[in-house]
Structure 1
Amino acid sequence: MNSENDVVLKESIKMMTDMIVLCATLALSLFFWVLSLFMSSFYGTLQPVSPWRWLFSILVPLVLTVRALKRRSLDRSGALGALLVGFVLTMANFSFFSTLLAFFITSSKLTRWGAAQKRKIDVDYKEGGQRNWVQVFCNGGVPTELALLYMIEVGPGEIPIDFSKQYSASWMCLSLLGALACSTGDTWASEVGPVLSQSQPRLITTWEEVPAGTNGGVTSVGLVASFLGGATVGMAYFVTQLLMVSDLHLADPQWPIVVYGGVAGLLGSMLDSLLGAHMQYSGFDASIGKVVSYESATTRRICGKPILDNNAVNLFSSVLIAIILPGLAWGMWPR
């Protein structure tokens, strides 16, 4: 009888907690809406954001972050970082949100997939991924900055990518998509390659066979996965554009977004491997039979120098893709 009462009590507490969170987010969204109305009365160029957009931008990232925390895809610091990144991207542009969502969901699913195989080769493998705030900001920091610049440029809302009408905003959109596609492509390659590849990875600088888990090691399966990962976030962006932007027929074609995402994912993964081969130390530790990132008496060096860690390599890769790739796309974008 007591156990039944405990279950009822826990369910009641959970229901009350959900109601409190919902009421708090409603109050917060209304507060921000009133604040935006107040600010727009002083600055005529500022357009007030609807309370529904505030609510969506707060509530949806909160729900997703709590769910990720329970599923151990994020630790507590990572959850706080993801909440901030999710709020900024969702407020700026729903296409940014869908792209981030595609990256996070697919990456979390693939991290859990083939866990037994990955545990054999990865000395730092964590169940569910357990991303912390450093990993969140190394993957989401650049998109967050771009989303803030986008809101300063055109305000919150969705626009088509059209260099002839919105040059700088279109550049920011492609930079943000490229950064997230780079992170997605690298993650897909790292998670899919070790499970599905039937051949040994090859070092991207010398093309010699290296043990699985070596920084800078690539496989044909991993490269294909990186392109598909980038194309997936590109498709998420493109579909959201179709649903949310009413005047797409007046702008440049938007379908190249999918191809752009795939190319960004592939190039980002290759750039990540190139940096990893040079600036991350990889050695084979005979005592545990795995590739490690530290030097010891039982470790044989494979490649790289201990200059950067994996998070820094991810950050540099996404920054370079975000800076360089939109310029190439601008010259080739169909009109």
Structure 2
Amino acid sequence: MTTSVRRAAVFAALCTLSLVVPLFGPVVGAAVAAVTLLGAFAITDGPLFDLLAYPGDYEDNRLYGLITFVLAGIALGLIAVTSSMSLAVFVGTVFLIGYGNVAEQIARTRTDHDVVVVTVFCLAATAAAVVGHAGTLAIENVPLETVAPTIVFLAASGALLAALLRDVLLLYDDPVVMLSVGLLLWLLAELEPAIGSLEIVAAIAVTIALGYVSYALDTASVAGMLTGVLLGLVTIVLGGYGWFVVLIAFFALGGLSTKFKYGRKEDLGVAEDNDGARGSGNVLGNAAVALVAVLGYAASSALLLPGNPDPGLFLFAFAGSVATAMSDTFSSEIGSVFETPRLITTLEPVEPGTDGGVTWQGEVAGLVGAAIVAAISYALFPEVDAVGGAIIVAAGFIGMTVDSLLGATLEGSVLGNQGVNFLATLSGALVCAVLVLAFALLG
């Protein structure tokens, strides 16, 4: 057994102590946490220090990794006992991080294949979260039959987020990961699923399968795959399969457009890095607003938002953001193969790949991209009629134009590419929602 595996096993054993809170109450839990924290401060050398120390801990002979890990657990526990976060979410999150890490470290001793390691982590973390969550509910005498699918959804969502954060952060950043996962699961636990029990299980299988396909086809990196799977899962469970179809259409068609005449783009110096595989930043830059719209829809449907806004507004905001992302992707990926772009602000000829450079072919492609999202929305959602479809197209085109304007003025000096994508999709979402609201008031 390697040092990393042994250390992870001890951390997992400490995570098991989180069950003290539901078993014996927060006071006993606080005492156990205090003893553990004091022990972490007291151990400064010797075999036990060597067992628990990360490489960076040797510089000051202090178990900073363990100390911050325990502090993160204490912070999450305090949130659980002083707010609406359930103890089940707290324990499930701590189990997820601890035992998922053990499985990952064991996997790393046998393979260096990133997808295999991530898969092992996600499976073990999901199982551990289910055990911790269900075990806490059993201690509290809560019947498990009615909440089992929700537990699996929360566990899988938490495992995906943890795997994503561990991929983009350092392996020693588990305290940040723990807090982030706990807060996400607290939010998701408050929302009402839009689908039934069997559909939740199917949603997990479908999103994982499609995520792997995107990785296998080199349209997404490991981080991009994890981000896409998490977004897809949350979208299906809280919005429904119709929402997912709209989102997956963007990922699929956008990925294919990236491959469009890729050799030509390489010659012009405008090709996406990593052979066109999109990372987590690219996925989130294009889909973060859509995710917020899904969460807003679920929260408004559950009457959790002040003023009880119409859930339909969030549906149109979602469609407007995705239409913008599709429009912008089509415009840049198809329009970039033409050598006569002009700067959108001055119409002066610029080199291919210049931020804010547009071509008429790209503008037409962008309109087609927005129209595709509008057509899918019209076919799937009763709320979207012909006028609604036209509004989605207009919102997508406006959002694409905002992207080009920001690219010509602020990108590189104030904003990065992902920031531009985020603001553009936000503008498309807001335009779509405002236009729908205006037409409703006028009608």
- Aligned match of 2:375: 235
How far apart in 2 are the matches of 1:86 and 1:139?
Answer: 13
The within-5 A match list for 1:152-301 is 152-154=299-301, 168-195=310-337, 197=338, 200-241=340-381, 248=382, 254-281=385-412
- Aligned match of 2:278: 131
Greater helix share, structure number: 2
Q: Which has the higher contact order (CA 8 A, sep 6+)?
A: 1
Q: Cα gap change, 1:49/1:127 in structure 2, threshold over 3 Å: closer, same or farther?
A: closer
How far apart in 2 are the matches of 1:313 and 1:262?
Answer: 20
- Aligned match of 1:6: none
Does residue 77 of the first structure (1) align with residue 205 of the second (2)? no
Q: Cα gap change, 1:123/1:35 in structure 2, threshold over 3 Å: closer, same or farther?
A: same
Letter in 1 for 2:281: V
After superposition, what is the alpha-carbon deviation per residue over 1:125-172, rounded to whole angstroms, capped at 9, x for unaligned?
3355211111111111111111112112225xxxxxxxxxx9621110
How far apart in 1 are the matches of 2:236 and 2:314?
Answer: 15
| Identity across matched positions, percent | 26
- Aligned match of 1:298: none
How far apart in 1 are the matches of 2:410 and 2:210?
Answer: 34
- Aligned match of 2:427: 320
How far apart in 2 are the matches of 1:79 and 1:36?
Answer: 26
- Aligned match of 2:213 in 43, 56, 67? 67
**Conserved 8 A contact 1:192-1:221:** yes
Does residue 106 of the first structure (1) align with residue 237 of the second (2)? no
**Conserved 8 A contact 2:388-2:436:** no
User: How far 1:37 sits from its partner (Å)?
Assistant: 8.3
User: How far 1:116 sits from its partner (Å)?
Assistant: 1.4
Matched residue SS, 1:34: coil
Residue range with higher mean Cα deviation, 45-54 or 200-209: 45-54
- Aligned match of 2:289: 142
Q: Cα gap change, 1:63/1:147 in structure 2, threshold over 3 Å: closer, same or farther?
A: same
Does residue 51 of the first structure (1) align with residue 182 of the second (2)? no
User: How far 1:56 sits from its partner (Å)?
Assistant: 2.9
Letter in 1 for 2:300: E
- Aligned match of 1:308: 415
**Conserved 8 A contact 2:227-2:284:** yes
After superposition, what is the alpha-carbon deviation per residue over 1:163-185, rounded to whole angstroms, capped at 9, x for unaligned?
xxx96211101111111111110
How far apart in 1 are the matches of 2:384 and 2:236?
Answer: 24
**Conserved 8 A contact 1:112-1:127:** no
Number of matched pairs: 263
Does residue 329 of the first structure (1) align with residue 436 of the second (2)? yes
Letter in 2 for 1:73: T
Query: TM-score scaled by structure 1?
Result: 0.70
**Conserved 8 A contact 1:36-1:49:** no
Matched residue SS, 2:310: helix
- Aligned match of 1:294: none
User: How far 1:256 sits from its partner (Å)?
Assistant: 2.8
How far apart in 1 are the matches of 2:296 and 2:347?
Answer: 40
RMSD: 3.1
User: How far 1:215 sits from its partner (Å)?
Assistant: 0.5
**Conserved 8 A contact 1:232-1:258:** no
How far apart in 2 are the matches of 1:181 and 1:82?
Answer: 17
**Conserved 8 A contact 2:300-2:309:** no
User: How far 1:218 sits from its partner (Å)?
Assistant: 1.0
Letter in 1 for 2:365: A
**Conserved 8 A contact 1:234-1:258:** yes
Q: Cα gap change, 1:167/1:228 in structure 2, threshold over 3 Å: closer, same or farther?
A: farther
Query: TM-score scaled by structure 2?
Result: 0.54
Letter in 2 for 1:269: M
* Runs of at least 5 residues in structure 2 that lack an aligned partner in the other structure: 1-118, 135-143, 152-188, 303-307
List structure 1 segments (4+ residues) > 4 angstroms apart after TM superposition. Answer: 36-39, 45-49
Letter in 2 for 1:212: P
How far apart in 2 are the matches of 1:270 and 1:127?
Answer: 27
**Conserved 8 A contact 1:140-1:180:** yes
Does residue 115 of the first structure (1) align with residue 115 of the second (2)? no
Task: Kindly name which structure, 1 or 2, has the bigger radius of gyration based on alpha carbons.
Answer: 2
After superposition, what is the alpha-carbon deviation per residue over 1:183-220, rounded to whole angstroms, capped at 9, x for unaligned?
1100000011123x4x6111111111111111111111
User: How far 1:76 sits from its partner (Å)?
Assistant: 0.9
